[in-house]
Structure 1
Amino acid sequence: MKRKNTIFSKLYVVLCLAFFYLPILVTMIFSFNSSKSLTRFTGFSLRWYGELINNMEISKAVYVSVTVAILATVISTVLGTITAIGLSKSRKVLKEMVLTINNFPILNPEIVTAIGLMLLFSSLGMTKGYLTMLLAHIAFCTPYVITSVYPKVRSLDPNLANAAMDLGATPYQALTKVIVPMIKEGIFAGALLAFTMSFDDFVISYFVSGNGVKNISIVVYNMTKRINPTINALSTIVIVVIVLVLLFANLIMPKLQASTVKKMDPKKRRIVAIVTAAAVVLVLGKWTIVSQGNHVLRVYNAGEYMDLSLLDKFEKQYNCTVVYETFESNEMMYTKLASGETYDVLVPSDYMIERLIKEEYLQALDWKKIPNSKNLLPEVQNKDYDPGNRYSCPYFWGTVGILYNKNVVSQEDLDKEGWNILCDEKYKGDLYMYDS
């Protein structure tokens, strides 16, 4: 009986591991697929890694994700550790009240936190971008650090700091050389959790970002609506980096007897701190300084509806800066507009144009400044949602069609059945329909 239970337990573990890791393995395999197919492997190729390297949008998103995650982790870890230590010395009523408030961001649905932070930044008149994303990440990471560090602090002897100061230590030395080393496991756990939460976040980042600032999650979300194997290449690189970090942390770190920082003298530590602070200032400065002058064009378009290389050519030709953002749906675009975001050019669908006109979000066009209007087709102008095209200019038009392989689909069946051929059992399993 015990042997049967052991076999079933091992089988259960194997199935669980397969359920969790098999999709990751498939993703990694198809990142080397020579074709665009996500279901059929046609041959080994590094094509998608080349496209990933040449994709500036993804490169910028990786930079934003990594820098925001690192800064948010460092700042939230410091804030969370100080708060946890302070709570251990506070009165019971204040302690319970703060801990209860600290649980709100953890228990709250992300969408509620995202909209709350978006409205906060809008009411303060802050331009959404790198800084607002960083502040939002610090806000939702800090509670996780407090939750990780506080139990460790609570397990310490409350008289430990006083005993250290009685032996001649200053309050700062008692904190850094006595208390912090004894709670470092909780601090490391909180820091790792904060970094993971920040790097992985999508919902909050989407609602608090702007000015063309996007992290990996936002870019990948926009890419998932189209068949783009570049996602597989990006995912594989992230997985490999995580594996290397885990191997380093579990195999190499335990063998290191003392870190480089500990061997530094106080002067070198100050230099490192100054350099780190300068790097933080440079990173923040790069993303928070608004471009000088009025030559900034803010465009909000649907994802993957424009070749991004055109933006560089446009900027060079007209000596301006284009802040280009993308949305996944008209409703998401509307939510940002309702929060106070403003753009020079919007590219919504027809039904959303009608709504934006009724709610007075759109400014009337000056057709004298659109010389190419003479090239517009008459059939795409003067529509019911905007009679006379006072607020909108046709940009993109198309229709739904059916593509078929003449060597597979019988012309006779097509002529005879028309649209009903889609329900013909003869072609079962050979149809693909885009989910739109």
Structure 2
Amino acid sequence: MTEQKKKLEKLSGVKGMNDVLPQDAQLWEFFESTVKSMLRSYGYQNIRTPIVEHTQLFTRGIGEVTDIVEKEMYSFTDALNGENLTLRPENTAAVVRSAIEHNLLYDGPKRLWYVGPMFRHERPQRGRYRQFHQVGVEAIGFAGPDADAEIILMCQRLWDDLGLAGIKLEINSLGLAHERAAHRVELIAYLEQHQDALDEDAKRRLYTNPLRVLDTKNPALQDIARNAPKLIDFLGAESLAHFEGLQRILKANNIPFTINPRLVRGLDYYNLTVFEWITDKLGAQGTVAAGGRYDPLIEQLGGKPTAACGWAMGVERILELLKEEQLVPEEEGCDVYVVHQGDAARDQAFIIAERLRDTGLDVILHCSADGAMASFKSQMKRADASGAAYAVILGDDEIANGTVGVKPLRDVGAAGAKSEQQTVAAEDLTEFLINAMVASSDDETD
């Protein structure tokens, strides 16, 4: 070509919507397998909802005067039919919608869990992204404080399973609707007395969502929030009994907690128990898991009145904690890397690799990067870098003799030294490798 190709512009991902690269995938998989094992031990079943829902689901469920609905949702009009749709900013409303739509509760309460991406249009920062991932649970049809306690205990078990320490639990009760209404009157009257000192965000919320003023992060408003009327002082006997029942179960299971009367959460559907698990190791984004009880939501979305509670946790924040605590698991290599030289050896290498995979071994078969046959030396470098325990070697001599070479690539045996390459009959390869791996495993445990 005489004419130079025009250089195409390099495309980048959307800011705040991050790729999970292969070198990070093992940490994600470690977390996901740990959390799935924990959830299974409590009898929770997986539910998967679409990432796009009707916008009305969130405006009705979360609340029109919440930060999420007012400022953070990715909403759009479907060009085909004019529907107002939203990328899900959270998943509780979607799970409840699904439970109502598919009559999941007709045969009794359900313990459900989900995992997947959520979307909020906000300024990206450490542990807080525009596309982020959450794991969450929803215990639907359970009215007592025992369900609240169970979902909190689940979090503690997960921290223990992951090896995370120093995550602290804060709890509060938002009471019932009429108790919040009485508190709201007193709270607004109190805040009106300090209206000149309120920032713009607090003034905006004063008459629409005054509870959120108590959760302000503005240092200048901390004294005002601290001295405001406390919702817990407005709770009646039923709400207090529920809150005290929760505390008894937590104490009986040695779960430390702090009652934070300013903990209100940012969504309208909460009542009674609310809680957060917090850490001081992630800067301003200290909440790693949060939830509570949301008894009004199911009726609010068109279902029969049903009690429910749940939590959600940000996966990226937990992974940041694991890195901070140096709890990243070591990357695991495959079992076998197959190297080969020559057309006949390549064809036989495919057959051998498939037979080894049939037995449950993880096998990487060397493939050329540029279409040319790589040297044994080059292939062995790739084999060693792969983390494989053994290299299986095929060349013209091995094909002619019906054998393969087997070379340990990692330290084996009690002495911790690599064994020499051995020649093994091709038909005996699978048995040889399994026996070698079992022997190596026994040496490590002695």
TM-score bracket, normalised by the shorter chain, equals under 0.3
* TM-score, normalising length: structure 2: 0.24
